[in-house]
């Protein structure tokens, strides 16, 4: 395992859903927001809850 791997064996980027949940938004609410087209990653609309969105990517919610 590489020493610079902060997440151990599960070294995959955080998803847009995980980022929103870590920010304090409830998982179901975040899923609804993403599926309705109200989430953007670096300015691009995202509707896939598993879309990679690790920092420093910017995740923003807009009214859908």
Domain 16-61 has CATH 3.40.50: no
Residue 27: the pLDDT is 98
Residue 11: the pLDDT is 82
In the chain, where the domains are located: 16-61
Residue 9: the pLDDT is 52
- Collect contacts of 43-50 with beta carbons under 8 A, ≥24 apart: 46/16, 48/16, 49/15, 49/16, 49/17, 50/15, 50/16, 50/17
Taking only the tens of pLDDT, the chain with its 64 residues reads 344 434 445 689 999 999 999 999 999 999 999 999 999 999 999 999 999 999 999 999 998 7
Residue 1: the pLDDT is 38
């Amino acid at each position: 395992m590489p020493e610079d791997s902060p997440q151990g064996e599960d070294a995959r980027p955080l998803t847009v859903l995980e980022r929103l949940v870590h920010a304090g938004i409830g998982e179901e609410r975040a899923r609804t927001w993403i599926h309705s087209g109200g989430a953007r990653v670096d300015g691009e609309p995202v509707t896939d809850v598993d879309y990679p969105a690790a920092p420093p990517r910017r995740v923003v919610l807009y009214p859908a």
